[in-house]
Structure 1
């Protein structure tokens, strides 16, 4: 029973990490330094990291929820 929880936790952590990396990679196409005041490069980089974490976590939660719902369909029948 506990090994299933460990696998679920591992899949969840891996999913969050992968989707955060994908979000960060996609956000590099945007120029946050142009949106902020001049000479605030560090702040724009930190903003990009925070947005990537928020976006990646949200997409990962959606993906994991979709997988859980698909697994729970067996109880419908």
Structure 2
């Protein structure tokens, strides 16, 4: 049981890191120079890092929830069959 929590924690960490990296990569395609003030490069990078974390974490949570729900779905049918 404890090893299952460890595996789930590792999967969550890896999933978050992958989706945050993917969000960072996707945000690099934006032409954001139009929206920035001159000489505010550091602030723009911090904003992009924060946006990457928000987008990546949201997508990762969706992915992990979907995975958990798909694993729990057979339990519904087992419960129905056992109560018949």
Larger-gyration structure (1/2): 2
Q: 1 CA distance for matches of 2:60 and 2:29?
A: 21
TM-superposed CA distance for 1:21, in Å, is 0.2
Cα RMSD of the aligned pairs, angstroms, is 0.9
1:26-55 Cα deviation digits (max 9, x unpaired): 001113343121111111111000000000
Equivalent residue for 1:38? 38
Structure 2 gaps of 5+ residues are 78-84
State how many pairs are aligned: 77
Q: After TM superposition, where is structure 1 displaced by more than 3 Å over at least 4 residues in a row?
A: none
Q: Give the Cα–Cα distance (whole angstroms) in 2 for the partners of residues 33 and 25 of structure 1.
A: 17
Other-structure match for 1:5:
5
Give unpaired runs (5+ residues) of structure 1. Answer: none
1:10 and 1:18, CA in 2 relative to 1: closer, same or farther beyond 3 A? Answer: same
TM-score for the superposition, normalised by structure 2: 0.87
